[in-house]
Amino acid sequence: MVKQEANELNKELDEKVIYINRCAKVVKGGRKFSFSALILVGDGDGNVGYGFSKANEVSDAIRKGTDAAKKNMMTFEREGASIPHEVIVDYDGARLLLKPAPEGTGVVAGSKVRAVLELAGIKDVVAKSLGSNNPINQVRATIKALLSLRNRKTCFEERGISL
């Protein structure tokens, strides 16, 4: 019964290929190409995951990346269609700023960060990449920022403050 629920969840997921890199290795007979793929998976309702994989064919790299992304699904806090508070995150060389925005603003972000936020189901947010433009590090920084978000209500309960 649990596997059926997982299959139902997989049917509702949206996939997006964020980045494909071609790598060439020079060997005796010429060049040998391999490919890496960065894939995002999300349900548009607070769950998102990413996968990075390498293979000798593009289609195999995408398939492996999709499987890895489905295994790495994460849930995070939201407040309506936006995020609860502002957050600045460093991941490797990437530095990212996420700010909540009023309703109707939309997603104001660069391409890689925008893809993560849209698949996660966030509709109103302003984001700015302040560091590296490496796609993998930008995606990881965005995921780290989303996981560091905290709900106001649970934060007050932990401190012993009543609303």
The per-residue pLDDT for 103 is: 92
Mean pLDDT, the chain, whole residue set: 90
Q: What does the pLDDT read at residue 3?
A: 41
d(CA 26, CA 99): 46
Domain boundary among 20, 54, 74: 74
Q: Which of 56, 74, 92 is the last residue of a domain?
A: 74
Residue 11's pLDDT band (boundaries 50, 70, 90)?
low
pLDDT over threshold 70, residue 5: no
**DSSP collapsed to 3 states, 19-33:** EEEEEEEEECCEEEE
Look up the pTM and report it: 0.87
Q: Say which CATH number the domain at 27 has.
A: 3.30.160.20
pLDDT digits (tens, 9 = 90+) for 111-149: 999 999 999 999 999 999 999 999 999 999 999 999 999
Q: Does some domain include residue 160? A: no
Give CA–CA dist 142/98, Å, rounded: 9
pLDDT, position 161:
85
Q: Are 157 and 64 in contact (CB under 8 A)?
A: no
* pLDDT-derived band at 153, boundaries 50, 70, 90: confident
Residue 10: what pLDDT? 55
| 95 plus 118 within the same structural domain | yes
pLDDT of residue 34: 96
Question: What's the mean pLDDT in 18-27?
Answer: 95
Domain extent, residue 110, equals 77-155
As a whole number, mean pLDDT of residues 26-42 equals 95
CA-atom Rg of the chain in angstroms: 18
